[in-house]
Amino acid sequence: MNKKKEITIYDIAKELSFSPSTISRALNDHHSISDKTIKLIKETAQKMGYRPNSIAASLRNNKSNTLGIMISRINRPFIASLISGVESRARKAGYNVIITQSNDIYKNEVDNAQALYDSRITGLVATLAMETKDYSHFQQFIDQGTPIVFVDRVPKGLNAYYVIIDNYMAGYKATKHLIEQGCTRIAHFAGAQHRNIYGERRKGYEDALLEHGFTVDPELLCEFSTLSFSEGKKATKNLLALPNPPDGIFSANDTAAVSAIMYAKKHGVRVPQDLAIVGFNDDPIASIVDPGLSTVSHPAQKMGKISAQLILDHTEKDDDDLTEIKMLKTELLIRESSLRKKGPVDLPLGKQQKADTN
């Protein structure tokens, strides 16, 4: 092996006949070292090719300059944006970011929690796996005073920060919008009901119906386990085969909503005239599908940045109270998939396209 020897502060100390303490202090701009000495030491360090060993520093300081992320799967637009936000904010502050994905499996989430704990992360940003119903694997972080920020899919009642959106109101507004567009039988594609976001979106849907004089028809309420493309397709098929099919669908995500649009189109059901559809998330596919999918947009990147910031701020405080809840605004983006009435609408017109590169 041809490994070059690594330069440590001891090497610099020997070179300059200083003590390692002085080197360390100089490199960290400690006030008790003269400017001249600091300059000399930094220049020498540079010249010798010194690079700090952050592992050693982490051990000594008992903190790792690392944030941990627990998510279901990276390969989803909302999640990718969330991570992106966490990473960019964290790195600006000199923190690394470790990612772990559960693939929505509870056991993976527990294992990942162990791995992140063992890495002595400074803080944790977590969205729950679809399966997760027990939260005891988070207790170790709380016991150690390691701040947790739960984002989007969150548990109830843990001593942690929360960064969420108002799912109830978003579901309410989306359904109300469909009603205003003249829909009288509105179906709902719902996710697993023990997960807060799906339960709340559904509640918003139901309340909007009830407040406008409709009833909640169980026939029109489709509960999905994953809200996948194929699940959406199958549900759409069933709905359209009903003796009294719906004329509107509010889907708890865009994937299932898009599958509904595509199925409907293929079978001669006009969107939005025969079937108006609203999704959730504003994934890239929402602005690509034809007709464009009306949907609820999350500020995903922003949620990530805020999550990272909460942790960074927390480490500078000395109290261990962290019950702050940040609820961010969503926006109902109205595209063609739900726009039946011409003329002015009292809601903002959604963006039609999104730029992206590769």
Partner DNA sequence: ATAGCACTCGAAATCGATTGCATAAATTAT
Partner DNA sequence: ATAATTTATGCAATCGATTTCGAGTGCTAT
Among positions 82-141, residues that touch its own copies (CB under 8 A) are 83-84, 87-88, 91, 94, 96-101, 103-104, 111-112, 114-115, 117-120, 140
Shortest distance, position 50 Cβ to DNA, whole Å:
7
Q: Enumerate residues 171-190 that contact its own copies by CB under 8 A.
A: none
Give the torsion sign (CA, 211, 217, 222, 223).
positive
Q: Enumerate residues 148-167 that contact its own copies by CB under 8 A.
A: none
CA distances to 63, 180, 194 from 113, rounded to whole Å, are 17, 45, 21
46 scored as a contact of DNA (CB under 7 A): no
Q: Enumerate residues 51-80 that contact its own copies by CB under 8 A.
A: 51-56, 58-59, 64, 66, 73-78, 80
Encoded tokens for 169: 């109101």
Q: Of 25-33, 167-175, 229-237, 262-270, which part binds DNA (CB under 7 A)?
A: 25-33
Give the torsion sign (CA, 30, 36, 37, 43).
positive
CA distances to 290, 329, 331, 333, 358 from 348, rounded to whole Å, are 20, 14, 9, 7, 30
Sole binder of DNA in the list 15, 39, 53, 256 (CB under 7 A): 53
CA distances to 41, 225, 251 from 108, rounded to whole Å, are 47, 18, 28
- Residue 213 makes CB contacts below 8 A (sequence gap 6+) with none
Sole binder of DNA in the list 14, 56, 92, 184 (CB under 7 A): 56
298 scored as a contact of DNA (CB under 7 A): no
- Residue 136 makes CB contacts below 8 A (sequence gap 6+) with none
**Which is nearer to its own copies, 80 or 269 (by Cβ)?**
80
Q: Enumerate residues 294-313 that contact its own copies by CB under 8 A.
A: 301
Sole binder of DNA in the list 18, 95, 161, 162 (CB under 7 A): 18
**CA-based nearest residue to 146, from 320, 286, 307, 299:** 320
44 scored as a contact of DNA (CB under 7 A): no
Shortest distance, position 94 Cβ to DNA, whole Å:
11
DSSP H or E segment with residue 189: strand 186-190
Total chain residues near its own copies (CB under 8 A): 77
Q: Enumerate residues 198-237 that contact DNA by CB under 7 A.
A: none
**Which is nearer to its own copies, 34 or 61 (by Cβ)?**
61
Residue 246 has what DSSP assignment? -
**CA-based nearest residue to 138, from 126, 152, 130:** 126
Shortest distance, position 33 Cβ to DNA, whole Å:
4
Shortest distance, position 122 Cβ to its own copies, whole Å:
12
Phi, psi (degrees; rounded to nearest 5) at 141: -70, -45
Distance between start and end Cα atoms, the chain: 38
Strands 161-165 and 325-328: parallel
260 scored as a contact of its own copies (CB under 8 A): no
Q: Of 18-26, 95-103, 163-171, 174-182, which part binds DNA (CB under 7 A)?
A: 18-26
Distance CA 149, CA 159 (A): 10
29 scored as a contact of DNA (CB under 7 A): no
Shortest distance, position 253 Cβ to DNA, whole Å:
42
212 scored as a contact of its own copies (CB under 8 A): no
Residue numbers at the binding site for DNA (CB under 7 A)? 6, 8-10, 17-25, 27-28, 30-35, 37, 50, 52-53, 56-57, 59-62
